[in-house]
Amino acid sequence: MGRQRLRLVRRWLLRGVAMQAVNIPVMPDDVEALEYAIELIVDDLDNIDHRDFPNAEELEWAINRKKGKLEALKRLVCLAAK
C-alpha cells in the first residue's frame, strides 16, 4: 500500500484516461486500482481543512477539482463493470 501501489494507481489512471479518450473498454482487472484511487480521493476530500486555504474561493476550487477527479473515476468504474 506504499509507493508501489501509488505508482500502479497513477499508471492506471493515465492508461484509463487514454483508453477512455479513444473508447477502448476498461478491463475488469483494473477495478481494484480504480477503487483504491477513489478511496484516496475520498480520503483527501474528507481531510480538506479550510485553514489550509487563504480564502473561500481557493477552498471551493480545491474541493471542485477533487470532485471532478472522483466523477471521472466513477465513469471509468462504470466502464470497467460492463
Q: What's the confidence (pLDDT) of residue 59? A: 87
Of residues 72, 64, 82, 78, the one with CA closest to residue 37: 72
Q: What is the mean pLDDT of each run of 10 residues along the chain (82 residues)?
A: 60 60 57 73 79 88 84 71 58
Report residue 82 as a C-alpha cell: 460492463
Q: Is the pTM of the predicted complex or chain greater than 0.75?
A: no
The three-class DSSP label of residue 53 is coil
Q: What's the confidence (pLDDT) of residue 74? A: 75
Q: What's the confidence (pLDDT) of residue 1? A: 44
What are the extents of the domains in the chain?
Answer: 3-81
Q: What's the confidence (pLDDT) of residue 25? A: 58
**Cβ count near 21 (within 10 Å):** 8
Q: What's the confidence (pLDDT) of residue 11? A: 67
